[in-house]
Amino acid sequence: MGAEGLRISEQVVIPEEDLSWTAARSSGPGGQNVNKVSSKVELRFDLVHTTALPEEVKGRLRLLAGRRLDKEGRLVVVSQATRDQQRNLEDARAKLCALVLASLEEPKPRTATRPSRGARRRRLEDKRRQGEKKRARGKAGDDC
């Protein structure tokens, strides 16, 4: 954990004030240890109030986050992969970093295309063949 925050890329750093985390008892590995030690980590990123990301990136991140957003608009990332709280915190920070990185990429605009003449011909030919196959499945002597 750096004092400067979570470095996403050269240009993007999430300040430490926008991040908070809590520890709880984990249901993951650890045997009897899970009943005694709080190793599960919930990392919260204040998506609504952060100034580290532009609005269009926040919008894409909201879509990527899905159900991981809470009522206050914070992104909640949970990690309980290991028995160690510190490693789970690092894992949660890595998951958050991956999500933000994915939202930084602008989606390419879709260019409308049309199927070629040959593709349309093949599709119609396949449909005709399929129809003939199904028509041939009728019972013997069954005239529709």
Domain layout of the chain by residue ranges: 6-104
Which tokens go with 11? 């240009």
- Counting Cα atoms < 13 Å in the Cβ hemisphere of 91 gives 15
pTM, rounded to two decimals: 0.68
Average confidence score pLDDT of the chain: 86
Q: So what's the pLDDT on residue 130?
A: 96
44: β partners: 20, 76
pLDDT per residue as tens digits for the range 15-43: 888 888 888 887 756 666 666 778 889 99
Which of residues 121 and 85 earns the better pLDDT score? 121
What does the pLDDT average to over 84-106? 90
Give Cα 26 to chain centroid, integer Å.
22
Query: Beta strand 19-24 with 6-7: parallel, antiparallel or unpaired?
Result: unpaired
CA dihedral sign, ordered 65, 70, 74, 76:
negative
Q: Assign domain 6-104 to a CATH class.
A: alpha beta
